[in-house]
Chains A and B, each alone.
Chain A
Amino acid sequence: MRAQSKPDCNGRKFVKVFTILEKHGRKPSRLVPILQAVQEEYRYLPKEVLTYVATALDISPARVYGVATFYSHFAIEPKGKHIVRLCDGTACHVKDSIPILDAIRKRLKLEGKKVTTDDMLFTVETVACLGACGLAPVVVVNDQVHGAMTPTSGVKLVEEIIAREQA
């Protein structure tokens, strides 16, 4: 499968935005669930779609942008094909989650504020707690939970995906 192009919206999906808006009765008070549904479709919130949502709900684009940037769940930049979430809640943190993050980011050449690889294959994020403290430290790759991780096993997870993508 080719890497995600930007912006990733094809006609069928755009039609989906109409359906989402209709489903929520075009109510401004339903903005958050609407954005959640839009993100489900596109995997992030493209600016143009946000403008469209603002127009449809008759609220200012600045406010929609404000809501979209307030919640860390929402992404306004496109995310990679594979999402790696590293738990940095208290339990995982005291069990050395940060070195795992550093190792994975180093392997994927992610520096500074960058969270998505240039080839759009990976996005690496931290989350505050996944509620799986018994398995600490935890890494979730595309909704699959991996417990008792180390920097080495973390990097291995990523390399397995790269190998599969190149096959």
Chain B
Amino acid sequence: MSATATVKTLNIDGIEVPINGERNLLELIRKADIDLPTFCYHSDLSVYGACRLCIVDIAGRGIQGACSTPPEPGLKVRTQTEEIREIRKISVELLLANHERECTTCVKSSACQLQDVARKLGIQKVRFKPVHEPAEVDRSSLSLTRDPNKCVLCGDCVRFCSEIQGIGAIDFAYRGHDAAVLPAFGKDLGEGECINCGQCAAVCPTGALTPRQEIDEVWKALGDPTKTVVAQIAPAVRIAIGELFGMPPGESTRGQMVAALKRLGFKHVYDTAFSADLTVIEEANEFLGRKTKGGKLPLFTSCCPGWVKFAEQYFPELLPNLSTCKSPQQMLGSLVKELLPAELGVEKKNLVMVSIMPCTAKKFEAKRPEFAQDGVAEVDHVLTTQELARMIEEAGLRFTKLLPESFDMPMGFKTGAGVIFGNSGGVSEAVLRYASEKVTGKKLLNPDIHAVRGEDGLRIVEVPVGDITLKLGIVHGLKNARTLAEKARRGKCDLDIIEVMACPGGCIGGAGQPVSRDPDIRKLRTRGLYEVDKNMELHKSQENHFVTECYQRHLGEIGGKNAHRLLHTHYHNRRRIAGETIELGEGGDAEKLKVNVCTGTNCFVKGSQNILHDLLHEVEVEKLQDKVAISASFCFEKCDHGPTVSVDGNKIQWCTAHAAKAEILQKIKEKNL
């Protein structure tokens, strides 16, 4: 034994490899620069061990899955044998047999792991016949397309949704030959609890889940001579799109992006970071107002549309805690539709706003009815980073060779504060850079606030601002958001601000970004955005003189009437699942008094099942079966005032069995039943 006997090793393909806290053999093998193929392994998720591609031959143990074997000193592992190659090939061939192999027309083509693995394993013929009936493609979601014919049942999507987002909008259903990944009750994705973050699509190895494509609509608008098409680009796009053109992750390509968009036919190209600066000012003042006047705290950020839908579904009583600020995407859309028609001399209906986002949920956000005035949407189309890259390729533009161009003024001007919005912790840092100067009245010399930066999904930090210390919660991943929201709901949360981003690492890890299996990619993109900030001359939103001018010329007072009309919004309770009512008792006779008890999640938690129980009992005792029809329903979307009972269409909020009974007896009397 050598002097370094303390380092434990195992043998991989004849080479001794040190064990250094790796969780499983697969991690260790990959560290040794051998890339075993996998579908179902994802370092952020639990080990599933279903795809059987990472199998290895361990001396004395036979063939085992590397992902589900802990590294042990002394193991002799072989990653390549005739037998292993044959097993891998058969596994992939069987998957291919039932896979819709229309690769040339698949959105995932060239980023598909199944395609990649089949090529690497040298599969040139599929010996097995397909046995699956083609299933219908689910296009119900505004953000995602679900094609069951391309699913390999690896379960990555299912585990991401439940383990990282804490939702479980999709899960395995049926078994064996019929097994499928489905939303609850086989309904469409657009109907259920899905919050559109799209991380299922980001981890999907094939084209079974993909961002909904809006490229055709955008080409159509660009080709229409009556339309004036303008664009906005979110911060996180600029440091990721280059990956699709062979550039290193994290490298900023904003100049090339602007040039590309101009060549595609966009009249003006604006920066979402400009409206992020606006968001900082509105939101920081909203926060300081609440803090000094005793308003609702903690203040939850509202930039992430995935989180907003999540809060609407599961935390209706916290909606007053959400910042009323629109997201930067919607703020810019709102300003563009308000100001540009006059400036450019075009009709509002002929002005088309396209935003380029790292995010699939932004597609849903843009279609929210609150974000349209007189039938004109603030943002007409949302393209993901991936989609923009595809358009650039389609137009034949050599992205890396384009001469950089500048954003259009005034809404293309931003400070570093607006740019770092794309990183988890970025919104907090930008708000702190503003709040600090506003509270202390002194110049903040070093704008970098390293305390709020980091990779952990749940960070609690304290930052001194003048005489006070602000306590912030910074989360990414909605399961982490749930942890803090539960505390806030119970009144056990002493935080001032909670920044929530649904995607890992923030927007830089959004599902619209280039697909990557590189575990370091998020780090590189995060660093890239901080570098963009570093290289700018201004770092604080309050230094953005175009923002100042915008207040002077158009918005008036910060947080004032006009600012509210254009830059703020409201939220509403949202049911998590579409469901029919359950008729209880002899059924719905038209003559009977209709009583409907909400048994949705929120009312359930507040005891609606007891009300239902008592009412059914009362009806029997009072012999009212001929007069009253009781049913249970799922969610009246009045969750913050629950439990809710509807008697003859009249909704009683904060209802009790006693109150419901009184109303029923009253109505029976009134209606002379």
Contacts and interface: CB of A to CB of B under 8 A. Distances in A.
A56 B173 contact: no
Contacts of B569: none
Interface string B590-608: 0000000001110010000
A134 interface: no
Contacts of A64: 184
Contact of B186 (A12, A54, A63, A65): A65
B486 to A, nearest CB: 12
Given A11-B585, A60-B193, A47 B185 contact: yes
A49 B632 CA distance: 10
B490 interface: no
A4 B580 CA distance: 18
B600 A63 contact: no
A69 B179 CA distance: 9
16 contacts: A10-B584, A11-B585, A11-B616, A14-B612, A48-B632, A49-B582, A51-B634, A56-B604, A60-B167, A60-B169, A60-B171, A61-B185, A61-B577, A62-B171, A63-B171, A76-B185
Interface in B584-635: 584-587, 599-601, 604, 609, 612-613, 616-617, 619-620, 630, 632, 634
Given A14-B616, A55-B600, A65-B171, 10 more contacts: A14-B582, A15-B613, A48-B579, A52-B632, A60-B171, A61-B192, A61-B577, A66-B173, A70-B172, A70-B173
A108 B54 CA distance: 50
A12 B579 CA distance: 21
A62 B169 contact: yes
Nearest to A49: B582
3 tightest A-B CB contacts, nearest first: A60-B168, A61-B184, A62-B171
A161 interface: no
A76 B600 CA distance: 21
A70 B174 contact: yes
Interface string A11-32: 1101100100000000000000
B170 interface: yes
A147 interface: no
B175 interface: yes
A59 interface: yes
B583 A7 contact: yes
A77 to B, nearest CB: 12
A11 B632 CA distance: 10
Contacts of A140: none
A161 B478 CA distance: 56
Given A11-B619, A59-B168, A61-B184, A51 B174 contact: no
B198 interface: no
A141 interface: no
Considering residues A9, A50, A52, A60, which has the most beta carbons from chain B within 10 angstroms of its beta carbon? Answer: A60
B162 interface: yes
B630 A65 contact: no
A50 B632 CA distance: 13
Given A52-B599, A62-B168, A11 B630 contact: yes
Contacts of A10: 584-586
A5 interface: yes
A157 B173 CA distance: 35
Given A62-B171, A69-B174, A56 B609 contact: yes
A62 B184 contact: yes
A15 to B, nearest CB: 6
B182 interface: yes
A46 interface: yes
A5 B586 CA distance: 11
Contacts of A5: 587
A60 B185 contact: no
A3 to B, nearest CB: 14
B599 A55 contact: yes
B9 to A, nearest CB: 41
Given A7-B582, A62-B184, A15 B577 contact: no
Contact of A14 (B162, B579, B584, B604): B584
B171 A66 contact: yes
B660 to A, nearest CB: 15
B183 interface: yes
Given A11-B619, A55-B600, A55-B604, A65 B173 contact: yes
Contacts of B634: 48, 51
Interface in B245-297: none
Considering residues A9, A10, A18, A69, which has the most beta carbons from chain B within 10 angstroms of its beta carbon? Answer: A69
Interface string B93-116: 000000000000000000000000
A62 B582 contact: no
Contacts of A51: 184, 577, 579, 634
A84 B512 CA distance: 52
Contacts of B587: 5
